[in-house]
């Protein structure tokens, strides 16, 4: 596998990992990690699929470094899309006053969770990349990328 493909496929991890947790552990609200993973898919799954569509439209022709840098920006870039989707879903239910304040609190709370869960994936993916690179898994490709940069 090439390093570029590794990073492209890594963007599927927020879909695959919660599904694996759901199928292997079940929807057990007593298990904190599986609950966070599964709820991240349930709440953010559709917005994330839209995000993936945008990512896969952007990625053709991009080099390894650009894609890797994008992993660090992805959680921050996902939040506005999530907020927009949340707004569209809640729009019919929205009323002025207390409910609007509750909605804002809900959206801001999920934004924090998006950052926490999102950067968990960023650390996991980039740590995996550096471990595989250290093991020589991407050696030939890294040299050719480095040579093209100079």
Q: How confident is the model at residue 140 (pLDDT cuts 50, 70, 90)?
A: low
Environment class of 18 (CB within 10 Å of its CB; exposed 0-12, middle 13-18, buried 19+): buried
For 3-14, the pLDDT digits (tens) are: 888 999 999 888
For 45-74, the pLDDT digits (tens) are: 888 899 999 999 999 999 999 999 999 999
């Amino acid at each position: 596998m090439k390093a570029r493909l590794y990073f492209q496929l890594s963007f599927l991890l927020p879909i695959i990992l919660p599904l694996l947790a759901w199928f292997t552990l079940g929807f057990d609200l007593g298990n904190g990690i599986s609950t966070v993973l599964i709820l991240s898919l349930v709440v953010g799954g559709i917005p994330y699929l839209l995000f993936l569509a945008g990512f896969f439209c952007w990625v053709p022709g991009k080099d390894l470094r650009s894609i890797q840098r994008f992993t660090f920006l992805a959680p921050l870039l996902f939040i506005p899309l999530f907020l927009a989707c949340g707004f569209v879903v809640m729009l019919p239910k929205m009323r002025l006053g207390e409910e609007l304040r509750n909605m804002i609190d809900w959206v801001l709370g999920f934004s924090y969770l998006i950052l926490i869960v999102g950067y968990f994936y960023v650390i996991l993916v980039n740590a995996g990349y550096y471990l595989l690179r250290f093991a020589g898994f991407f050696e030939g490709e890294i040299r050719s990328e480095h040579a093209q940069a100079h």
